[in-house]
């Protein structure tokens, strides 16, 4: 009779031990299965869902998991949309073991600079790129865009033919073939303070406020592989283009018909193109 209770005690003790050992943490095995590409996509999903800090954490995890040239090319393409030329040079010279920390610093520094919460700049980047790919994608997409510009109408004079809207040479040569020039600037700078159009719709002007100054750039229609509807930057648009933005800066209201004035405005616009296509910001728009 004393043997039965002892056996019963053993019978009840064994299942308790087995149950305890049969429940590994599911998060550990799931995380191990995630590739860099999967984590990269998850970061974007989290950003779109309004979880910027979690998005940045997933982005960094994707970089840690990167183990192939394709993985690193994915990150380079992503930061190239807003990186400075110097930042890309540093990236190319950095060992792959140091790139995860470099990427984290890339986004964290921008959060601090623009006064955003952790992951805020990455989330804004995802939003802008989504908008740009929907509204400013080059169609049809056939590789890199050409270096030739085609004006929608004939140039009005020799100056316009040589350096203005009638010139076949581009004032800005993009390093990609997915977005037109509006898309390039939109991803870096966000929505402009204002969009203005000349009466004949030949030129579209975008106005930004930077450090208390008006920065304006102008776009004209271009032909990409026989497809219209895409635009490219032009440094010396017709006088009417400057006039439609002169309420933001009286400098644009001068006698732009004179060659000297037109060249002065052209140089100013070249500076604006250079600034807006090599820098980025996500600070709230200035009034």
Lowest mean pLDDT among 34-48, 128-142, 166-180: 166-180
Q: Is the peptide bond before 140 cis (omega within 30 degrees of 0)?
A: yes
User: Which structure tokens are listed for 247?
Assistant: 């309420």
- Average pLDDT estimate for 170-176: 70
pTM value is 0.78
Query: Domain boundaries in the chain?
Result: 36-130, 146-276
pLDDT bin (cut points 50, 70, 90) of residue 108 is very high
DSSP state of 283: S
pLDDT at 202: 79
pLDDT at 150: 44
Closest CA to 167 of 273, 65, 59, 266: 266
Separation CA 117–CA 81 (nearest Å):
21
- Average pLDDT estimate for 216-236: 73
pLDDT at 42: 98
Query: Cα angle at 122 between 119 and 128, to 5 degrees?
Result: 140
pLDDT at 56: 99
CB–CB of 51/57 below 8 Å?
A: no
């Amino acid at each position: 009779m004393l043997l039965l209770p002892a056996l019963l005690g053993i019978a009840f003790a064994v299942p308790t031990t087995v149950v305890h050992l049969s429940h590994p943490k599911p998060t550990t095995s799931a995380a191990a299965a995630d590739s860099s590409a999967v984590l990269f996509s998850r970061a974007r999903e989290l950003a779109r869902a309004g979880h910027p800090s979690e998005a940045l954490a997933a982005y960094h995890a994707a970089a840690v998991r990167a183990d192939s040239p394709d993985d690193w090319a994915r990150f380079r393409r992503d930061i190239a949309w807003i990186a400075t030329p110097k930042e890309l040079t540093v990236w190319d010279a950095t060992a792959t073991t140091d790139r995860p920390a470099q990427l984290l610093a890339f986004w964290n520094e921008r959060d601090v600079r623009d006064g955003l919460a952790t992951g805020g700049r990455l989330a804004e980047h995802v939003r802008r790129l989504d908008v740009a790919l929907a509204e400013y994608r080059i169609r049809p997409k056939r590789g890199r865009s050409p270096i030739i510009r085609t004006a929608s109408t004939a140039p009005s004079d020799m100056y316009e033919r040589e350096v203005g809207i009638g010139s076949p040479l581009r004032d800005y040569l993009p390093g990609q073939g997915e977005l037109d020039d509006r898309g390039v600037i939109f991803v870096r700078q966000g929505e402009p303070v204002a969009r203005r159009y000349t009466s004949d719709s030949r030129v579209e002007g975008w106005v930004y406020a930077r450090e208390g100054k008006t920065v304006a750039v102008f776009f004209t229609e271009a032909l990409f592989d026989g497809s219209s509807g895409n635009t490219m930057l032009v440094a010396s648009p017709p006088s009417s283009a400057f006039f439609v933005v002169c309420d933001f800066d009286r400098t644009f209201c001068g006698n732009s018909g004179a060659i000297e004035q037109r060249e002065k405005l052209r140089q100013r616009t070249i500076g604006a193109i250079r600034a807006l296509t090599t820098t980025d910001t996500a600070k709230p728009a200035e009034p």
